[in-house]
Copies of this chain bind each other. A is one copy, B any other.
Amino acid sequence: MRNLTLLTDLYQLTMGQGYFTEGKSEQLAAFDVFFRPNKLITYSVAAGLEQAAEYLEDLHFEDEDIAYLRSLGIFREDYLAYLKKLRFTGDVTAVREGEIVFPYEPILTVKAPMIEAQLVETALLTFVNHQTLIASKAAKICAAAGGGVMEFGLRRAQGPDAGIYGARAAIIGGCVGTSNVYAGKLFQVPVSGTMAHSWVMNFPTELEAFRAYAKNFPEGCLLLVDTYDTLKSGVPNAIKVFQELREAGFEPKGIRLDSGDLAYLSKEARKMLDEAGFEKAIICASGDLDENSVRSLKAQGARIDSWGIGTKLITSADMPALGGVYKLAAVFENGVQIPKIKLSNTTEKITNPGLKDVYRIYDGKSGMAIADYITREGEKIDREKPLTIFHPLDVWKKKTLRGFTLRNLRSPLVEKGKRVRESLPLFEIHKYFESEYARFWEEYTRLDMPHIYKVDLSDELHALKKQMVNSFGKGEA
């Protein structure tokens, strides 16, 4: 494992020295990670918390890191000695991986001595922003495809980690496998892939190329049929080899289309395969696809069973950054919480102060999610009484709920620097996402003009926020 302790912005370390010399190094602070609304985000799938926890547990400066920091000529020796001994000793409360989350909700909260809490900001954001982004994109694509999506993007990923952890996030979001062998081994998830155009080009004829491949991989044989002419050459040659395979006692897996009019070609190929008696041979499609092209192909009646999605998934091409932030929510003096707020001229940018809990409210009868509800930490909600929730910005939008169930979305991830949550297999994380997704009305998750799912503030939290905003007057703290 690489030591990623230096994976931080320099200002975390300069501020750290400031807190150190100001005697504030042991002052506890709480920071929330959350993201803001964006028209491309209808819902997000939390991911990257596993790597966040690993990173926090491993946090330590090596001698060479200290030597490097010393070489910058801006740090004091006593502070460097302090850093050498520093470990992460704080607590982290977070949602599960695979949890469906919405803007403004604290996905995770770090409560730690100020220097530690600042130091870990950058890397935590990197892990959570990246993986949540890709898991969410994968979820959209998989919803459009209705299943059978494989992650094929490594060569277009923004570096090795983007490919490796992008594949991880894609599985959480619903992909059934990846082409990335490194990720397959690391996360024990299915890997897939058979041949490239270069294989076909490297034999005198397409038929010989297919035969040579089938000889090597008689089981699960999947042939790439678009190197020369999909319908005149590729599919007929594939059928010839499939017949030979069947005679030898093997059932072929199917074909892959990687170019051309995928709707037309898949329908024609389906007919040809069916007529030849290969009704069970699948048709896999790839080539610059995303949730929109997948949906369009399905609307056109394309007969595609399986999808290889590359560039647009692994980079989340239409929105390549989630933009999650890490904001001070509170400091503690003599054990007493002092809520903090970040003001802004833009109402949506004003933070929610203090330690908080996040609940999901489900309808008592249908079991479907109605709204999320952010409260002050430890606030009691009386389920016997009707609960009036209101829009955090447009407070005239109200709704009174009766007969609901509640779930606290967050639980401890790290306590006193040690992780306290077990690591789950990726497919289990995905299954969790799926079970939760089923509790959302389609109106909230659909791609086009979804209803905005409500994330409301409790009366108590809203009152605190209002009071803090008002007391700052024109923004002077």
Contacts and interface: CB of A to CB of B under 8 A. Distances in A.
Of A134, A157, A220, which is in contact with the most chain B CB atoms at under 10 Å from its CB?
A: A157
A156 B321 contact: yes
Given A161-B160, A199-B15, A233-B476, A154 B126 contact: yes
A212 interface: yes
A77 interface: no
Interface residues of A, number: 107
A217 interface: yes
B159 A126 contact: yes
Interface string A7-41: 11111111101100110100001010000000000
A327 B22 CA distance: 60
A201 B165 contact: no
A205 interface: yes
Nearest to A191: B10
Interface of A: 2, 4, 6-15, 17-18, 21-22, 24, 29, 31, 65, 68-69, 72, 74, 114, 118, 121-123, 125-127, 129-131, 133-134, 152, 154-166, 179-182, 184-185, 191-202, 204-206, 212-213, 215-217, 219-220, 227-229, 233, 259-260, 311, 314-317, 320-323, 326-328, 331, 340, 342-345, 474-477
Nearest to A73: B219
Contacts of A21: 215-216
A342 B162 contact: no
A197 B316 CA distance: 29
A353 to B, nearest CB: 11
Contacts of A326: 155
Contact of A155 (B121, B199, B474): B121
A315 B7 CA distance: 17
Nearest to A472: B228
A181 B10 CA distance: 6
A454 to B, nearest CB: 27
Contacts of A15: 195-196, 198-199
A180 B204 CA distance: 51
Given A65-B185, A229-B476, A315-B321, A159 B159 contact: yes
Contacts of A227: 477
11 contacts: A4-B182, A6-B181, A7-B180, A9-B181, A9-B193, A65-B185, A127-B159, A156-B321, A159-B161, A161-B161, A202-B340
